[in-house]
Amino acid sequence: MLQVNFLRDNKERVLEGLKKRQFRNLELVDHAIATDDERRKIQFELDSQLSESNKISKEIGLLMKEGKKEEAESAKSKTAQLKESTSELKSQLDVKEKELINILYQLPNIPHEQVKSGASADDNEIVYQSHDVEGLGEGAIPHWELAKKYNLIDFELGVKIAGAGFPVYLGKGARLQRALVQYFLDKNVEKGYMEVNPPHVVNEASGYGTGQLPDKEGQMYFINEDNLYLIPTAEVPVTNLYRDVLFEEKDLPIKNTAFSQCYRREAGSYGAHVRGLNRLHQFEKVEIVRIEKPENSYTVLEEMVEHIKEILSDLELPYRVLRLCGGDTGFASAMTYDFEVWSAAQEKWLEVSSVSNFETFQANRLKCRYKTDGKSQLVHTLNGSAMALPRIMAALLENNQTEEGIKLPKKVAEYAKFHLIS
C-alpha cells in the first residue's frame, strides 16, 4: 500500500508510474489526498477539544478546593459537552480513516524507473536468454502424452477426485516431484535461506498484508465457515511472519525459503494453453522471501535473479529472463523478473518463476519496520519462486525425451535416484 504522504509529496511521479501500468483510475490519487486533508482537519479539531477538556478537568479540581462550587459545576457542564463533541469527532475520524484505507487499497505500487511502459506481456523486455531454441521435430510429444505413456501423472483420475486442474502423480512422477522439491530447498539453504514450514491457510489480515486482498480475492479459494483462505503461494504466510514486527537494524536481512502446496482458482482459464501441467488449481512450489533495508533491495533483487539462473542451469533447461513492463507487473510489485523455460514439444515458452521487489508496498500494509539511528522506517520485501514445479516438470519431460525414454539431467538424477524413465 502506498503511503498518503508519498502521494502528496510525489504526485507527478505517482501519476507517471500509474500511467506506465495503464492504470485508469488516476483520480484516486487526488481523492486519497483530499480524504487525508479531511482526516487531518478532523484530527486537529479532536486533538484541540481533548486538550481543552483536559485543561478544564484540571481547573475543576482547583475550583473545588477553593470552594467555588458554582464555577466548578459550570466547568463540569462544559466538559460534558466536550465529551459528547469529541465522541462524535472520533466517529467521524474512524469513518474517514476507513475511507482513506479503502482508496489506498485500490492503488497499485509505483513501478521502478527501469520498468518500461507497456500494456501486456507482449511489451516485456527479454534481458537474458541461455540458448537458441528449436523444436524436437517429428515424433516429439507433449508432456501430458509422455505422462500417460510412462504412467507418471493421471489427469483423469484427478478430475474424478476433485476436478480439472488437480492431477495425481504416480510412481516415478511422484518421486521426481519430491526430488525436485528437495533439490530446490537444498539449493536455497546453501545460499543462506532458512527453511520454514508455514500454514497452508491464512486469515484475511494476512491476505491484505501481502496484497492478495482485495486485488486477487476472486482467484483465491475461501473457507467460508472459518473465514480463511487457501494460500496461492508460500509468500503469503512467510512474509506475514513479520507482520507488526519492529526489527533492530542488526537483525536484517531476513532470508526464508518454504515449500508448500499452492491453490489458485484460475477463474476464466480455458483452452489448449492450459492443457496438462501448463495451468493447475493445485501445485507445488518452493519460495524464497527476503526482508531487506531499502538501500540494499535492488542489489538483492539481482542476486536473487542470479540464484534462479543457477538453478535452471543445473536443470539443463533452455531459459530466458524477462523484465516485466508496467502493464504486466503485479499489483504489489515495483519490479518483476519472469523466468521462462523452453517447452521443446509444445514449442513455446513456459513461465516457471517470478522474482519481485515490492519496496515498501507490502511493508506498509504489514507494519513491518526496523530501527535505525533511533528512528523506525519501513523495510523492503522481496520474493521469488525457486521454483514452481508443474512447468519445470513439463519441460524436463518434453526436452529430455529420447527413443530409449526420458533421460534426466545429472543433477535431477542425483536427487531422484534414477536417470531414465522408460
List b or e across 171-180, with b for residues whose CB sees 16 or more CB atoms inside 10 angstroms.
ebbebbbebb
108 preceded by a cis bond (ω within 30 of 0) = no
d(CA 417, CA 198): 28
In terms of Cα–Cα distance, which of 283, 278, 277 is closest to 263?
283
- Which residues are annotated as part of the binding site? 233, 264-266, 287, 351-354, 383
Instruction: Give the contacts of 122 (CB within 8 A, at least 6 positions apart).
Output: none
Extract the C-alpha cell encoding 178: 519430491
64 preceded by a cis bond (ω within 30 of 0) = no
Cell numbers 508460500: residue: 234
- Which residues are annotated as part of the binding site for ATP? 264-266, 351-354
d(CA 378, CA 252): 12
- Which residues are annotated as part of the binding site for L-serine? 233, 264, 287, 383
In terms of Cα–Cα distance, which of 361, 336, 111, 383 is closest to 233?
383
